[in-house]
């Protein structure tokens, strides 16, 4: 009985200490897509629940991997299944919805993105390893580099001025090409003159 009472008490204590961590989606209405999630980085313990609160607009929360920021987890790796809320309309705050994510392992990073803003940096992460090379800044850069409108260019890509707007891709300019296979007019004239002068010189020798 005493052991059973201890287990019940321990379980009750663990439940009481579990946290519900709120993440707002769409609450910030500025042009900065990286602020679609507030906060963008979350720390949670095993037993905690991360509650994503869709507060404004219509957005979609999807799990992904570090090297494929804007691709659903299962599409990138068929052996894994990630969450995908589908579009969640909050009707500008009149009907907010939530998505609850229980944390069972706080040693594994969970990467996620918002579908319509991912290419502009609308991404986030749970329990990011500070000692790893896979950082939130790197994840954000990958999202913009791989999925922005200028993804095929190696030049830097400016962020757009608003959610859902197109990024301004870098434009490349090149000098007009010149044909190397032809011969310039001046060179042709010189060759023609030389060709005409040669027979005349030969004829003069026999006069």
pLDDT in tens for each of the 207 residues of the chain?
454 454 444 444 455 579 999 999 999 888 889 899 999 999 999 999 999 999 999 999 999 999 999 999 999 999 999 999 999 998 877 888 999 999 999 999 999 999 999 999 999 999 999 899 999 999 999 999 998 754 333 333 333 334 433 333 333 333 333 333 344 444 444 444 444 444 444 444 444
Torsions phi, psi of 93, nearest 5? 95, -5
| Range 2-17 burial, b when 16+ CB lie within 10 A, else e | eeeeeeeeeeeeeeee
The conformation of residue 120, written as its DSSP 8-state character, comes to: G
Residue 182's Cα: distance from chain center in Å? Answer: 47
* Calpha distance 10→15 (Å, rounded): 9
Beta strands in the chain (DSSP E): 20-25, 37-38, 41-42, 49-54, 58-59, 61-64, 88-89, 97-102, 110-114, 123-126
Domains and CATH numbers, the chain: 19-147 (2.60.40.420)
Indicate the length of the chain as a whole number. Answer: 207
pTM as predicted: 0.65
Token pair in block for residue 139: 């994840």
């Amino acid at each position: 009985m005493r052991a059973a009472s201890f287990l019940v008490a321990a379980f009750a204590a663990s439940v009481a200490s579990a946290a519900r961590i709120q993440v707002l989606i769409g609450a910030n209405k500025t042009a900065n897509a990286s602020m679609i999630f507030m906060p963008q980085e979350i720390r949670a313990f095993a037993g905690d629940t991360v509650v994503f609160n869709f507060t404004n607009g219509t957005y979609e929360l999807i799990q992904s991997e570090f090297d494929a920021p804007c691709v659903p987890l299962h599409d990138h790796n068929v052996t894994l299944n990630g969450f995908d809320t589908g579009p969640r309309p909050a009707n500008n705050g009149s009907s907010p919805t939530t998505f609850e994510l229980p944390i069972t392992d706080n040693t594994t990073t969970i990467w996620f993105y918002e579908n319509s803003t991912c290419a502009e940096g609308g991404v986030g992460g749970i329990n990011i390893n500070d000692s790893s090379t896979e950082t939130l800044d790197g994840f954000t850069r990958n999202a913009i580099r791989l999925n922005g409108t200028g993804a095929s260019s190696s030049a830097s890509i400016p962020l757009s001025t608003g959610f859902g707007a197109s990024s301004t891709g870098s434009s490349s300019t090149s000098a007009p090409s010149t044909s190397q296979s032809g011969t310039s007019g001046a060179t042709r004239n010189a060759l023609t003159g030389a060709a005409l002068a040669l027979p005349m010189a030969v004829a003069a020798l026999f006069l």
